[in-house]
Amino acid sequence: MSQLHVAIAGATGAVGAEFLRLLEKREYPIGRLTLLASRRSVGRTLRFRGEDLPVTELTPDAFRGVDHAFFSAGGSQSQAFAPAAAAAGAVVIDNSSAFRYDDEVPLVIPEINPEDAFRHHGIIANPNCTTIITLMALAPLHRAFGLRRAISSSYQAISGAGAQAMAELERQVHDWVAGRSLEVKHQPKQIAFNVIPRIDAVQDNFYTKEEMKFVWEGRKILHHAELAATATCVRVPVFRSHAVSLNLEFTKPVTRDRALSVLRDAPGLAVQDDPTAEIYPTPIEVSGKNEVFVGRVREDISVPDGRGLALWVVGDQLAKGAALNAVQIGELLLRGR
């Protein structure tokens, strides 16, 4: 395979670090790697394959000769620079929400809708981290039993809000232990020893944007425009990996055993389900892993006629929820249809 010129926009961030780790680990065919961030980071170096590479400023001219450009520098940077990167001939794989709802931009989870990736016009969107983790379990069940309604309650790690928010949780824990007053800067309220039921902007319908992303993106990825879905997204004082409680209602009857068999056969999923033996996934145990984990599978007693299922899904949102999914999209393009 020929060697690519790859760029990472947002290389110094939480997702950027994960890109560097995964591109090296998965032996992405890189001949040249360009690391981009804000002017603040110019002069820094980041390690890749044993070499210290310089960070340069994200500008519209930074993409000359770039084949694949991974963007994780926030929505406004994607808006400002992804079109220039695509115009320069790069395929942009964007982690922000800037283009996810554009009909011309595919929104792709390679295990679920790989064919959509090949309809791109220079930009492919990576779905929201919680959407990816949730749909990894929900999509195979939908294919088997026909999803009618989904209720999602997510317990989202602080690293989902970026490197500064992670540092704030750590500082607050230290300050609390030392009896000092806590500084609240990067989250709406104290996150240490607390949970915050508001992630992203509040919409006209009083849902948050994070909650609506699950609805909008779920319909687009599953090609299921009538899907009835609702979500409550909560930030929790966990460093890494999101957990989701799902209540699903299907058009066909479903049993625990049949659901487990579908989930065991689904690519990218791992079933850990024996609660009496304390076998179920938790964020600490799944962090750094590629798979999305499922447990606590049970028939939902509130849904009539055996058409409901309740389950617990946990995945590393910096890996499968962000960088890994984006790298898999790049690998899919390289492999071809």
Q: Give, as ranges, the residues between 163 and 222 that touch ligand NAP (CB under 6 A).
A: 163-164
Question: Which listed residue (20, 23, 58, 92) binds ligand NAP by CB under 6 A?
Answer: 58
Of the residues 41, 172, 272, 328, which one makes contact with ligand NAP according to CB under 6 A: 41
CB nearer to ligand NAP: give 34 or 95.
Answer: 95
Q: Does 14 bind ligand NAP (CB under 6 A)?
A: yes
Nearer to ligand NAP, 74 or 140 (CB): 74
> What is the set of active-site residues?
129, 242
Q: Which single residue is written with the structure tokens 């425009």?
A: 225
Quick one: which of 34, 72, 131, 241 contacts ligand NAP (CB under 6 A)?
72
Instruction: Number of residues interacting with ligand NAP: please give it, by CB under 6 A.
Output: 29
Residue 152 or 159: the one with the smaller Cβ distance to ligand NAP is 159
- Residue 158 in contact with ligand NAP, rule: CB under 6 A: no
3 state SS of 322: helix
Q: Pick from 40, 180, 223, 252 the residue near ligand NAP by CB under 6 A.
A: 40
Which of 11, 76, 79, 69 has the alpha carbon at shortest distance from 45? 11
Choose the stretch contacting ligand NAP; rule: CB under 6 A; options: 173-181, 187-195, 255-263, 313-321: 313-321
Using the rule CB under 6 A, is 162 a contact of ligand NAP?
yes
Specify the stretch interacting with ligand NAP by CB under 6 A; choose among 158-166, 168-176, 182-190, 200-208: 158-166
By the rule CB under 6 A, 315 interacts with ligand NAP: no
What is the spatial distance between Cα 278 and Cα 259, in angstroms, rounded to a whole number? 20
Regarding 34 and contact with ligand NAP (CB under 6 A), the answer is no
Tokens for 46? 């980041």
Residue 73 as a binder of ligand NAP (CB under 6 A): the answer is: yes
Q: Is 109 exposed, middle or buried (0-12, 13-18, 19+ CB in 10 A)?
A: buried
Residue 144 lies near ligand NAP (rule: CB under 6 A): no
Burial class (CB in 10 A: 0-12, 13-18, 19+), 267: exposed
Tell me the C-alpha distance between 47 and 77, whole Å: 23
Instruction: Tell me the C-alpha to C-alpha distance, in Å, between residue 70 and each of 2, 42, 127.
Output: 18, 18, 13
- What's the residue count for the chain? 337
Q: Using a CB cutoff of 8 Å and minimum separation of 24, what contacts does 23-27 make?
A: 23/48, 23/327, 24/48, 24/49, 26/327, 26/331
The burial class, CB within 10 Å (0-12 / 13-18 / 19+), for 204 is exposed
**Stretch binding ligand NAP (CB under 6 A), from 110-118, 136-144, 156-164, 181-189:** 156-164
Residue 77 binds ligand NAP, judged by CB under 6 A: yes
**Residue 69 vs 259, nearer CB to ligand NAP:** 69
Amino acid at 300: D
Window 281-300: residues binding ligand NAP (CB under 6 A): none
SS3 (DSSP) at 245: strand
74 binds ligand NAP (CB under 6 A): yes
User: Around 230, how many Cα atoms within 13 Å sit in the side-chain half-sphere?
Assistant: 7
Which residues of the chain form contacts with ligand NAP (CB under 6 A)? 10-16, 37-38, 40-41, 58, 72-75, 77, 95-96, 129, 159-160, 162-164, 317-318, 321-322
